[in-house]
Amino acid sequence: MDRTAQLTALPVERTFVYDPPPLSGSLHLRAAAVLEGNWTGVSTVPSRGLYPHQWSWDSAFIAIGLRHLSPLRAQTELETLLAAQWGDGRIPHIVFNPSVPLDAYFPSPDFWRSSTAGRTAGAPRTVQTSGIVQPPVHALAAWLVHCADPGLSRARGFLAGVYPRLAAWHRYLLHRRDLGGGGLASVVHPWEQGMDNSPCWDAPLGRITPAPARSFRRADLDHGAAEDRPTDLDYGRYVRLATDYRDGEYADGASEFAVEDPSFNALLIASEHALARIARELGATGTARHARAERLTGVLIERLWDPAEGMFFCRDARGEGLIPERSVSGLIPLLLPDLPRDISSALVRTASGPHFGLGDTTQLPPSYDLLGEAFDPHRYWRGPAWFNTSWLLERGLRLHGERARADALREAVLETAANTDFAEYVDPYDGEACGATGFSWTAALTLDLLHERPGHGVSGTVLGTFDMSDTRD
């Protein structure tokens, strides 16, 4: 029996364990209903309309929330994704649902050529996937899912099953994707970083000749207003990059687009810390992985930190160095435990200052500089606030002792999620819903924050320190 069939045969619970924290029952039940409605049987779609397949970093965030409802289902979410891993270790950014019509989403599976007919070498044999990747949140999610029910995890051999795949994923990123030669992973497409339409990509994308409009159909415009989505010009460049990468059989290093992103690498470092904890749970020391995470934190600072601006910036590996655009990505390294105090303090000041307005002018932190020329409060990743980046910042603030700010951000996330029916993203100023509603990672991370104890340090999630005392035997 192949891995996909095994996962389909798993005895997944038909109902969640509805155990809402005190005083939050209604929001808890509403969030659970979103995840139940988006469940396919082996994984969770981000939304039924616009995103009808399994997305990589979405599933990691979804599993973090699902663990509070069903640790088994959270484990299955990650196992389904990892079953689609490529031979070189990459975890694809989409795992396609074969029951969804080809024209429901573009680029569709036939675009990526990962199917059995005309299959790209190294692609999985039993499922159809894309050929690019997304941010490496997966080991972090796997560790947190294990901590939700260590007894079940050990009985199923969950960590023992996922650890080799996660280790191969990290090897791929640290070796095949070190395109700048400095030790950090590069993304070769804006979709890989997850913040697809960020102004950070404008300069490197300017080198790319767009694919002709006749060569693709924008299915995304069936579900969202054109003024909120990427422009046709940018979308043509996205398609050109993906086409060239595919036609080069997904060989890394040839692309004109190669960017070292602070958020992508910070999540890799956080997940490396998590892999160290997983290794310890499985009987190894984890010392080498902790040391690697500490070393990578130093490399991140050396290559992407700008002390004058008080934040991290993307580095164009094919251009002129740092890209001078302030994105929320440059604040995400706050979730790392080994940041020097002066850097974590500077990040807090920048997040709270005029460019992001945390706790002052904005309801949730924007995805891009409020004062930037390209800022747009509604256009995809060019200003709107997102719930996953807010969650990451809340974790980072709490980790570095900023409890009052973390508590305030937590309350803002919960209030905004409740008021927008778990929107995909929102206007950062007034919290107006944008994109899809009933969005899975919004519901999942709402659940995670509901299970946190306000006013305390990082609790069961324990980003960075991964306190083993939080596992429950």
Q: Which residue numbers are catalytic?
A: 196, 424
Cα–Cα dist 51/45, whole Å: 6
Q: Is the previous residue joined to 107 through a cis bond, with omega within 30 degrees of 0?
A: yes
Cβ–Cβ under 8 Å, residues 176 and 252:
yes
Cβ–Cβ under 8 Å, residues 104 and 141:
no
Cα–Cα dist 198/178, whole Å: 22
103 Cβ contact list (under 8 Å, min separation 6):
217, 219
From the list 134, 168, 161, 139, the residue with the least C-alpha distance to 53 is 134
From the list 213, 91, 140, the residue with the least C-alpha distance to 458 is 140
Q: Is 183 helix (H, G, I), strand (E, B) or coil?
A: coil
Report CA-CA distances (Å) from 123 to 54, 85, 115, 118, 209: 16, 8, 8, 11, 27
Give me the residue label for tokens 């509603």: 437
Q: DSSP string spanning 37-98?
A: HTB-SSSB-SBTTTB-SEEHHHHHHHHHHHTTT-HHHHHHHHHHHHTT--TTSPPPSEE--T
CA-based torsion, 436, 442, 444, 450: positive or negative: negative
Strand order in the sheet with 425-426: 385-386, 425-426, 433-434
Q: Is 259 helix (H, G, I), strand (E, B) or coil?
A: strand
195 Cβ contact list (under 8 Å, min separation 6):
263, 327, 328, 329, 367, 381
Q: Is 293 helix (H, G, I), strand (E, B) or coil?
A: helix
Cα–Cα dist 454/4, whole Å: 40
Paired tokens of 310: 């008080």
Q: What count of residues does the chain have?
A: 473
Cα–Cα dist 470/148, whole Å: 9
